[in-house]
Structure 1
Amino acid sequence: MKRLFLVLAAMILMAGSAQAEIVANWDMADEPGDQEYTEAAGAADYITAFDMVRGTGLSNSYTGNNSLNSNGWGGTDADDYIEFGFSVADGYEVTLSELWLGTRSSNTGPGTIGVYSSVDEFNSSVYTITQQGSSYSNNIIDLSSLGTIPGDFSIRLYEIGNLQADDDGETADTGTFRITDYYDSGSYIDVQFVGTVAASAGTSPVPVPNAVILLGWGLIGLAGIKRKIS
């Protein structure tokens, strides 16, 4: 009986511990490209995902199947960006490991895109995406340096410099840049943040659903053992 209690306790502890998961994701399949925004497809427990949007300096003049497309990147306007992110519930925090996404520019669209975060108020890029002409770019971006994140968090994609993707002149306002799903060996994977969600230090978390289920099964097992003994 004592051993059963110890096993049950270990199972609950394992179920309640933080494990890597999809924190928030955006499914770009069947999006026309010129939509006003893209809603999140899902989020982990205690996470509310934001819509994927364009900054006010960009336009949605062009379609682009299975993407959020944009134009108006010419120059260095502070409002030229694409933004998406999430909010963490009170008492919890997120530790991000990766961001998965696909990107594509037109030949006259931006050649270099910086990935910036709200952790430092979008002051320095944590990753640089180089667009080669109109080819797709698949990116798995390491975000582990951002540390633990409470409250609201966003990523912004800004152009770095003003050189178009085919290296032939400055980025044109009619040039486009789009976000798509990540492509891997014939499969498309949603744009997504990967990481762990856990209770903040000094707080007592509400049991996660798996832990509650395991506890229930454990209690049923104990009841069965008690009946056999009696």
Structure 2
Amino acid sequence: MRRLKRVLIVSSLLVVAPVLTSCGQQTQVDKSATSAKTSSVKQVSYYQRSLEKGLDAVARGKYVKAQAYFENAVDTKPKAKRARQYLAQVRALNQAQTAFDQQNYARAQTQLAQGQKATGSTALTTALDHLATRVKAKQASAIKASQAASSQSSEAAGSSTTAKSTSSSSKAVSPAEHQQANDLRRLLVSNQGFSASVLKGIPDADIIQAFAGSGNATNAALAESAGKLLQQYPNLK
């Protein structure tokens, strides 16, 4: 009888053991699924918060902070089109602003063109357009100022273009004309790739004279005036 009881107990354990093992495995699977689901929810939540904080920074004009938030959003969800568009816009805007502050208007225009290709935030599109207007205005202002200064210089120099160029080299310039010449030097370096060191050695009057009668303040006018100066000083490039 005792032997029979032991046999029944052992048999019962053999039946229960697989059931317990199966339950343990199912519990582990449930825990893994729950953990993965929780991680996914946290990821989406972080992505949304990053986007919201980035857009809030844009609304306050804090574009560097906005870029950091959008970078976090893209790192969280690399395939998210919306975040990538926002990041492309704000990154181009920040790089263009840096170039503008350095008076490198050609680079600023390149960065702005890249940012304007992206269609994400209306606020960022407006900011890009606004900066593009400022870049064009700066270029136009430099050319117009040089034209006005060269007009005054030409009246005192003579009627012949050659005589104007020759006399302008030795003519003393005012502080305002000196500033205009320096503005043009920076413009020629950024837009035409001229040597800054060679430009520094060219008389202010010659720099100003090259822009005399160049017409409208456009990129074409700048290129035409740069060509005149290059004929006088071939080592500019």
Which structure has more helix as a fraction of its residues? 2
Does TM, normalized by the shorter one, top 0.5?
no
Answer with 1 or 2: which has the greater Rg. 2
TM-score interval, normalised by the smaller of the two chains: under 0.3
TM-score scaled to structure 2, two decimals? 0.25
TM-score scaled to structure 1, two decimals? 0.25
